[in-house]
Amino acid sequence: MKTNTSPFYRPLGRMAVSVSVVGAVLGFSLPALASLGGKVDSIQADTARMGATVNQTSANNVEVHQLQSPTGTVVNEYLSSSGTVFAVTWQGPFMPDMQQILGSYFQQYSAALSSQPRQYGHRPLNIKQPGLVVQTGGHMRAHWGRVYVPALVPDGVNAEQLQ
């Protein structure tokens, strides 16, 4: 009887191959680039990651990049005249990746979320802190939300009215 001496059949060989595959996947994965607080290049990265089409408009020194994902979710990213994303809104059948939307603000969001009292059922989320506002709601296949950094909102813009 012939024994197989291939490294794929030896336990250490299989483990080495598994570790190599996992390392390659992690090494070549696209990072979740931030939108909130980011610059225009973060919008381009979000567009590519979502596989979205973009429609760009501007008014009153605010540029709006509307990203339409193939799943139907629409994400609006608001840039100030300095080129910084100060707010993001969304609506659609699926929630966007909050870590991608919040970027460096995700830790603050996570901490605020874990300090909220546990609620059962479907209730809107309303986190208002000096450095971050997160408002989300909806139900299955109809989600909406708004996040913004109050200090980054340009003068003359009411972030509560962004949709």
**Burial letters for 146-158: b for 16+ Cβ neighbours within 10 Å, e otherwise?**
bbbbeebbbeebe
> Residue 87, exposed/middle/buried by CB under 10 A (0-12, 13-18, 19+)?
buried
Q: What is the pLDDT of residues 106-144, one digit of tens each?
A: 999 999 999 888 777 778 899 999 999 999 999 888 899
Q: What is the pLDDT of residues 27-62, one digit of tens each?
A: 333 333 337 998 887 777 777 777 878 899 998 889
**Pairing status of strand 132-139 against strand 125-129:** antiparallel
Q: Which two tokens stand for residue 90?
A: 């969304």
What percent of the chain stands above pLDDT 70? 79
CA nearest to 83, candidates 114, 42, 119: 42
Distance CA 32, CA 115 (A): 25
**Burial letters for 73-83: b for 16+ Cβ neighbours within 10 Å, e otherwise?**
bbbbbbbbeee
pTM for the whole structure: 0.73
